[in-house]
Structure 1
Amino acid sequence: MGRAARDEPDWDALAARNDARARRRRLLVIGGGVLAAAALAGLVAVAITRSSDDTTQAEPTPAPTAPATEDDLPEPEFPEVTQPPPPNPLSYISSAEKDTAPLTLRTLFPGKGMSIGDRSYDKAGTADTTDCAAPTQGGLGAVLDSNGCTRLLRATYLRGDVAVTVGVAVFDTKADADKARKQAKGNIAALSGHGVDTFCRPVACWRTSNAVGRYAYFTIAGPSDGTAASSDDGTQRAGRDAGRLAFNQLVQRGKDAATKAAQ
């Protein structure tokens, strides 16, 4: 009995050792958990710190800009367009080559009279001839023929007791017309008839001569009763008015041709 009792294990001692081992395991587990938690906390702290550093060092995001308005946009650039100069009307009446529109008594002396400023005249008669020397006096016929005159168109106008005849001589070129004007002597013959008695033959009357383009034009003015002209009887003004009519009609002819050419 005594040996059996001695050979049995000391249960109390074994239990004490097991308890001690269990306590050590718990301490190890707790210690390991604390270390793991500490390590994890360190990693989180590093991550937070690094994230904080990254945020601090990040470039600022530029603020959005408003879209450009029409006022902000540059003006469009277009190539400069150079318009050709307008045609010169006189160039169209300076040569027979370009001056091709019909020329008649009706187009040159239109209507039943003429109005210049506040003065009105009645048209009496008209005449058209290719014999330029025939309706002239005082040597003008020879000048017209020598410079190549091809036609002479005349019209007579009346205002009160004043009569005036205007004649337009036609040449092939401006140079011919200019020469005829410079060499002019004598004048065209006054055109009577159609209710107008003979005038300015052979008495003194007001005479003018001029040229535009390929045309030379002449006027002769005096009292319609055939007496001599004086300085205050309106004949000088009548001569200027008739010359103005011829000039205006011829220049208008050039303007019409230039307008047609530009279309």
Structure 2
Amino acid sequence: MLPQPAEPDWQLLAQQHEARAKRRRLLIGVGVGAGVLVLGGGAVATALLTRGGDPEPSSTASASASPGKGSKGPGGASPAPASSAPLKPAVSASELFGKAAFDLGGHNYVRKTVTTDIPCWKASAFGLGDVLTANNCSQVMRATYFSGSTAITVGVAVFKSEAEARKTESAFKGQVQSLDGKDGVNKFCRNVACPTTHAVTGRYVYLTVAGPLNGSAGDQNPIARTAGQELATYFGEALAKDAGADKG
């Protein structure tokens, strides 16, 4: 009778199979982990290269990708495109200084002469021209008015944007140059102290200088002070309406 073949050791085979399975699982886990470490290190290196220094602390959660073309923002709504509508043309000197005469606060103002200055520094004095040029002033409109024995020049500097006008206001120095020398207007507020005003609305910086018709100093003259303030308020309101139309 032939001897029967020995039975396989099933328990030993099962143990060996389980051991091989554990080794496979361990190797797969380490491989993914190594991949995560490499990718993480690459992200930090990119941050250092682009920032030129240490990266800012960030969450360990995975970062969302930046929305691409055609993607939608939070809530599924498509982001609204930025407005690129151009500003309407700036108000002209003929529009702004169109009235030949008008009354303010019981005082009568008569327009005597009007001009538009390009480049802007031509209408400036005592350093204002440098500020206007630095902020891309495109033109200065000026008009001189008489009220009794007082002359007042109103100046309006025009910029391409409100930001440039406000930068001019924040760095302001000097004054608008009085508009004289033609249309029967003798020199006034030249090389003497006179009250001035300046303010900004929209893309306009508006200014006044006022003093006696005879060219004497006006800084202590209450009539000249009042005249400059009244015209500044009047034209500031007119320019505010035009600036509001830009935003509407």
TM bracket (short chain)? 0.5 to 0.7
Q: Does 1:142 align with 2:130?
A: yes
Mapped partners of 2:149, 2:122: distance in 1: 27
User: Structure 1 residues 119 and 127, CA, compared in 2 at 3 Å: closer, same or farther?
Assistant: same
**1:46-76 deviations in whole A, cap 9, x for unaligned?**
xxxxxxxxxxxxxxxxxxxxxxxxxxxxxxx
How far apart, in 2, do the equivalents of 1:98 and 1:205 lie? Answer: 38
Unaligned segments of structure 2, at least 5 residues: 1-83
* Structure 1 counterpart of 2:110: 122
| Aligned-partner residue type, residue 230 of structure 2 | D
Match of 1:163 among 151, 154, 162: 151
Task: Provide the TM-score with structure 1 as the length reference.
Answer: 0.58
Q: 1:249 to 1:197 in 2, by over 3 A?
A: same
Which one of 225, 230, 247 corresponds to residue 236 of structure 1?
225
8 Å CA contact retained: 1:165, 1:242? no
Q: Which moved more, 1:205-214 or 1:106-115?
A: 106-115
Distance between the aligned counterparts of 1:102 and 1:245, measured in 2? 18
Per-residue deviation, residues 233-254 of structure 1 (Å, max 9, x unmatched)? 4010111112112212112224
What's the CA shift for 1:104?
1.5
Q: Distance in 2 between matches of 1:115 and 1:106?
A: 19
1:147-226 equivalent positions in 2, closer than 5 A: 147-192=135-180, 193-226=182-215
Deviation at 1:256, TM superposition (A): 5.2
Matches within 5 A, 1:25-64: none
Taking the aligned partners of 2:123 and 2:189, their CA distance within structure 1 comes to: 13
SS of structure 2 residue aligned to 1:234: helix
Deviation at 1:220, TM superposition (A): 0.6
CA contact (8 A) 2:118 2:138 kept: yes
1:245 equivalent in alignment to 2:234: yes
Q: Identity across aligned pairs (percent)?
A: 32
**Cα displacement string for residues 141-168 of structure 1 (whole angstroms, at most 9, x for unaligned residues):** 0000001100110000100110110100
Displacement of 1:118 in angstroms is: 2.2
1:146 maps to a residue whose letter is A
Q: After superposition, give the CA deviation of every residue in 1:11-50 in whole Å (9 maximum; x if it has no partner).
A: xxxxxxxxxxxxxxxxxxxxxxxxxxxxxxxxxxxxxxxx
TM-score (norm 2): 0.62
Paired position in structure 2 for 1:103: 91
Asked if the contact 1:203/1:228 (under 8 Å) is kept, the reply is yes
Verify the 8 A CA contact 1:188 1:219 in the aligned structure 2: yes
SS at match of 2:122: coil
Corresponding residue for residue 8 of structure 1:
none
1:13-28 maps to which residues of 2 (within 5 A)? none
Equivalent AA in structure 1 for residue 158 of structure 2 = V
CA 1:248–1:115 in 2, change beyond 3 Å: closer, same or farther?
farther
Partner of 2:64: none
Which SS does the other structure have where 2:121 is aligned? Answer: coil
**Contact 1:164–1:238 under 8 Å retained in 2:** yes
Structure-2 change in CA distance of 1:251 and 1:159 (3 Å): same
In 2 relative to 1, CA 97–199 (structure 1 residues): closer, same or farther, beyond 3 Å?
A: farther
Query: Cα–Cα, structure 1 residues 206 and 148, in superposed 2: closer, same or farther, change >3 Å?
Result: same
Q: Verify the 8 A CA contact 2:152 2:210 in the aligned structure 1.
A: yes
Correspondence for 1:16: none
Q: CA deviation at 1:117?
A: 2.8
Q: CA deviation at 1:102?
A: 5.5
Aligned length: 165
Please tell me whether Structure 1 or Structure 2 has the larger radius of gyration of its CA atoms.
Answer: 1
Cα-Cα RMSD: 2.1
